[in-house]
Amino acid sequence: MGADMDGAIEVRSAAGCWEVEVDLPAFRLGRDRDVWDCLFGFGGTGDVERPLFADRGLPDDVSDPVRETGVGDHQHSHTYATWADVAAVDWDAPLADRPAWSWAGRWRPGEDGELVLHDVVVATPDLGDAAADTFGGDLLLAPSQWPPGGEVRLDGEVYRPVVLTARMQAPPDDERWAPVWKTMGDLAAEHGDENVRLVVWFG
């Protein structure tokens, strides 16, 4: 069985105590290891070198319900982010210093006929085979192994190596995570950016 994510959005009261405002499972986020890797540094393929909010541990002043639920023999990879942290994210900044091994950018003609990045997709064996045909050799070539400026044409589309960004892996307007960020933002407008935080763990 795979891991699941758990957690909560907490708010710091006027008395200085953190209290649970919303349990994270209420958002029904499901399992998405690509998002987990981008945001929290857990469960990915190694293509994300700088996750946004990884390895911070469980806050010392965490609320009692979170401590009771999140600390145990099977809970691990605890981390957190305040709304100030989330609001400061540059979603278009590179998450690594090299092109991704497991992902490629898919380019299609724009309105002016010039190629524009359409989306980022998993690099399939068929793409690796097409890369081997394009660049020579007998081995399937991952996008990070393509020569500088290299591109591969497959089924009428153009693929190029890509350096991942948070917007590619966990866009802030994603239909699953947008309600999380909106809830935090609304709470921060009332309580302050540093007084709202998301605490997560896996198990």
Give per-residue pLDDT as tens, 36-75.
Answer: 999 999 988 899 999 999 999 999 999 999 999 999 999 9
Q: How many CA atoms lie within 13 A of 147 on its CB side?
A: 6
Q: Does residue 152 share a domain with residue 61?
A: no
Element (H, E) at 158: strand 157-160
Q: Does residue 83 share a domain with residue 34?
A: yes
pLDDT in tens, 6-40: 999 999 999 999 999 999 999 999 999 999 999 99
Range of the domain at 56: 5-93+168-202
* Alpha carbons 114 and 142: distance in angstroms, whole number: 25
Sign of CA dihedral 189, 169, 26, 1: negative
Q: Does residue 194 share a domain with residue 118?
A: no
pLDDT greater than 70 at residue 191: yes
Q: Does residue 178 share a domain with residue 148?
A: no
In a domain, 58, yes or no: yes
What was the pLDDT predicted at 58? Answer: 96
Q: Does residue 86 share a domain with residue 9?
A: yes
What was the pLDDT predicted at 140? Answer: 75
In a domain, 122, yes or no: yes
Q: How many CA atoms lie within 13 A of 111 on its CB side?
A: 0
In a domain, 145, yes or no: yes
Average pLDDT for the chain: 95
